[in-house]
Structure formats: structure tokens, C-alpha cells
Structure 1
Amino acid sequence: MIDTVIFDLGKVLVEYDWESYLKQFCFDEKTFQVLADAIFLSEAWILGDQGAVTPEEWLQCFLQNAPHNEKEVRQVFEGLAGCIHKFPYTDRLIAHFREKGCRIYYLSNYSEGLYEMTKEELGFINSFDGGVFSYKEKCIKPEEKIYKTLLTRYNIKPENAIFFDDRPENVEAAKMLGIQGVVFTPKVAEEYLG
């Protein structure tokens, strides 16, 4: 019997849309691509999720990736909170599982820098029973260690848990540990909420 729900955050409970955010700056096409590669598509972004760099070091990595665009990199970095917005269905989806008596957790690849900028938008996680951010654990999904950390820390029985994540490889990693997994899309939210 499912008594525990584990949510990824980005593209599950919050919109993570860096492309729309970056387009708001109206940079020319070349600058857009330089900044996309230097920030969002860079190895440095993953280093942030892994907790391998501080927020200041994270910014320095982005600046090194685009040395001729320092002003633009700083501008984009300072407004990163604009990438994250709670979905309209989020509160209802959480309430749906709460009403069924489920414990609720989060398991998310997230950097300290982005968390500091978006913790207000993520305020709803304060009502959760707990959770794990990758930057604090120094490992990321789909590494087995991060799932085991969550299971052990909160005494979660894998066979009683369901995990929602937008990335198939993360769902597969959860399934390998006996957790029921669902590749999440907004359609999945609709199915649960009727």
C-alpha cells in the first residue's frame, strides 16, 4: 500500500523554464546561445547541483564560461529566481495525497545558489515531511546514493513509496530500489486531480 509520495521539484511541482526566462532579456541569437551554454547547459550548472561549488564560485564558473559577456552573465544570474514558478496545480496535488494520509517528501537536483534565490517560491515544501536537495548531499539523481539517503533518513519503505520525476532515468533509478516510479507530465497531475 502506498503511504509515501516523493516529488521531484523542477518540472513537477515548479516550472523550471530557463529558455523562456532567458528570452525575456531580448538578447540577440548569438548572445542567447553563449549565455545558454555558459550557464544553463554548462558543466558548472551540474557542479552547483552536486554541491561542489559555493554560490559565489558558481557565478565565477559562469563568468569564466563567457568572459566577453560578464555584464549579461551577472544580469541573468541575479534574476535566476525568474526560472522557477509554482504550477497552478501544485497545492491541490499535495493536498490530494495529504487527504489520503500519505507522507510527502521531495528529492531534487538543486544548487545552493538557486535555492537561496527561490526559497520563497518553494515555501510549500515547508509543509512536507522532509526531503533531500542534491547540493546538501553532494550527489545527484540518478545516483543510487541520493535515493538511499532519502529512504534511510526518513525510514521510508521503498515498496510503500511512489516517486514522481520528469526524467525517465531518475524514475528508473528509483524503480531499481523498489520504489514505484512515474514519469511526470502535467497530464499526470490532471489524472490524479480528475
Structure 2
Amino acid sequence: MIKNVIFDIGNVLLDFCWKDHIARFGFQGEKADRIAQAMMLGPIWPKLDLGLESDEDILEQFVAHTPELEQEIRLVFSDLSTIVREYEGSVDWIESLKARGYHTYYLSNYGERIRREASKELSFLSHMDGGIMSYTVHLAKPDPAIYQTLLDRYGLKAEECVFLDDTVRNVEAAQALGIAGIVVTSQEQAKKELETLL
């Protein structure tokens, strides 16, 4: 029986709206695409989530990787407060589950700086029973250790949990530990699939 609902954050409870963030600084079209490939969609960005290197070091890695976009990268990285946007229905979704007796947790690959600078977009956190952001434990999905850390920290049984994430490999990693999983494509779809398990 499911007792605990574990949420990823990005593209589940909030929009990782990097396209809008880049556009905010005046970059469009091919230039915006190149910036995204150098930053959010490139191999260096996940290091922000692990919390093992300083933001300054990671910025210099972005620049070294794509030096022809140094000015643009530094500008886009100068303020990350608009890179995420909370979905309108997230708090209501969590509160409706809690009202029915379910516990809610978060498990997210998330960087400390984005949490700090875009904290206003994380109002749902105060409505949840707890959770883990990757930077706090220096582990990231789909590493099984981060799932086990969450289970251990809150005394959860895998078979009593369901995990919602927008990335297939992250859901598969949870399922390998005995946690039910839902691949999220939208909140509406996720709510419907979740109801079939509860």
C-alpha cells in the first residue's frame, strides 16, 4: 500500500524554464540555442547539482568549454532567479494528498544557488514532510545511494513509496529499489497515473 509520494522538483512541481531565462537577457534564435548547449544542456551543468565545486569554478568551466560565448555565458549566469517557475497547481496537489493521509517528500537534482536565488518559486517545500536536494548530500539521481539516503533519513519502506520524475532513468533507478514509479510528462497526466496507484 502506498503511503508516501516522492516528487522530483524540476518539470514536476516547477518549470525549468531555461529558454525564458536566456531570452530575458535578450538572446534569441541560434544564439540562445548555442548558449543552452554551452550551459543548461551541456555536460558541465549537472555539476551544479552535486555541490562539490564552487559556482565560480563551474562558471569558468562553462567559459573554457565555449570561449566564444564568454560574455553571454557570464551574463546569463549572473542571476539565476528566473530559471525556474513554480507551477500554479503544485501546492494544491500536495495539500490534497496530505488531506487524504499521504506523506509527501521531494528528491531532486538541484543546485544550492538556484535554490537560494529562486527561493520564491519553491513555496511548495513548506507544505511537504521533507526531502533531499542533491547538493546537500553530494549525490545525484540516478545514483541508487540518493534514493536510499531519502528512505533511511525518513524511515520509509520502498514498497510504500511512489516516485514521480520527468526522466525515465531516474524512475527506473527508483523502481530497481522497489519503489513504484511514474514518468511525468505533465501534472495532469501524473495526477491521473498516481490515482491508479493510491
Q: Give the TM-score normalised by the residue count of structure 1.
A: 0.90
Superposition deviation, residue 189 in structure 1: 4.6
Match of residue 15 from structure 1: 15
Match of 1:156 in 2: 156
Structure 1: unaligned runs, 5 residues or longer = none
1:103 equivalent in structure 2: 103
Residue of structure 2 equivalent to 1:186? 187
Q: Within 1, Cα distance between the matches of 2:147 and 2:74?
A: 34
Maintained 8 Å contact 1:4/1:103: yes
User: Pairwise mapping of residues 1-194 of structure 1 onto structure 2 (< 5 A)?
Assistant: 1-27=1-27, 29-184=29-184, 185-189=186-190, 191=192
- Runs of 4+ residues over 4 Å off in structure 1: none
Partner AA of 2:93 in structure 1: L
Over the matched positions of the two proteins, sequence identity in percent amounts to: 36
Instruction: Using structure 2 for the length normalisation, give the TM-score.
Output: 0.88
The one-letter amino acid paired with 2:129 is D
Deviation at 1:63, TM superposition (A): 2.5
Structure 1: how far apart are the matches of 2:20 and 2:187? Answer: 18
Q: What is the total number of aligned residue pairs between the two structures?
A: 193
Report the alpha carbon displacement of residue 161 of structure 1 after superposing the two structures with TM.
0.8
Check the 8 A contact 2:132/2:150 in 1, yes or no: yes
Aligned to 1:107, the other structure's residue is in SS state strand
- Pairwise CA RMSD: 1.9
Work out whether residues 55 and 112 of structure 1, in 8 Å CA contact, stay in contact via their aligned partners in 2: no
